[in-house]
Amino acid sequence: MGFYIRVLSLVGQFSLLGSLLILLGFEFQLGTTGAPFAFILFCFLIVSFLTGIVGIVVGCFGSFNDNARRAEFLALMAACVVPFLLVHLIVGAQNFSLREVNDVTTNIENPPEFNQTKDSRLAATNFSQFWNFLRIPERVTKHPTLSTIEVEFSCDSIVPMVFATFHYLGWPMSFADRTTNSIQAKASWSFGSKVNDFVVRTSTLENKGCAVDLRSASRHERRDIGMNILLLDTFMTRFSLEFEKEHTRLCSGITESHDVKQLMTK
């Protein structure tokens, strides 16, 4: 039993330290390299979490020389579970995916265009061939559930909602690249490093409404581990709240205006 406890302790310490270092790297801007840090983080999180779960079971039911050593071992194994739970709380483990996706849009027939070409947006192209199994062909894919959003508001009233959404999410907008009908930003699931390009396009409809299309793309040519779909969902969740707030404000204004008119006629 002592041998297995030592192995679990070593694996737990290594995976825990690796997970924390990469998480800190995301927050404090990882350097531009060819290493797929998101995938590496995912592997460390899985190893750390499984080690922690097995270790907790061993710590509860295994035999130890003294209770102090058992408590120390259980504390280490519990710490190994924390990074995975933290990322799950922020991202959601169910959103991780190894599908061949790294550029996702709500309009596959006419996707929004970025202001830079694909080559100019790539963060790094000279990465090790060891990671070739993660490389995928360059193509835009459709979001599995989201499609073009059509609203009865004018596009001029939609743009401030987009600004408010980006501001709330902490995604810096590229004002220098903004055109008359699209707004581009740097997006990420973490609070620090902004590693994905995100664009919102607004188009006026024939019935005077507005169509809103979204697109999120990674700055590499590898699987995105499900992050672009997550970013689109995250934007839509917050944008829906901004839309509801504006809709409530306008309805309240209409009601107040109607009440004033009734008072004036009396």
Percent of the chain at pLDDT above 70?
80
Candidate from 92-106, 113-127, 129-143 with smallest mean pLDDT:
113-127
pLDDT tens readout for residues 229-258: 999 999 999 999 998 888 787 776 544 444
Question: Residue 20 contacts by C-beta under 8 Å, 6 or more apart in sequence?
Answer: 83
What's the CA gap between 88 and 39, in Å, rounded?
15
SS3 of the chain: helix, strand, coil, percent, to 5: 55, 15, 30
Q: Residue 112 has what DSSP assignment?
A: P
Tracing tokens 């790539």 back to the chain, one arrives at 122
The DSSP bridge pattern shows strands 182-187 and 196-204 to be antiparallel
Fold of 103-259: TATA-Binding Protein (3.30.310)
* Confidence at residue 176, expressed as pLDDT on a 0 to 100 scale: 47
Domain ranges of the chain: 2-90, 103-259
Average pLDDT score, the chain? 81
Q: 92 falls in which pLDDT band (50, 70, 90)?
A: confident
Looking at the predicted structure, is the pLDDT value of residue 259 above 50? no
* Confidence at residue 107, expressed as pLDDT on a 0 to 100 scale: 94
What's the CA gap between 79 and 20, in Å, rounded?
11
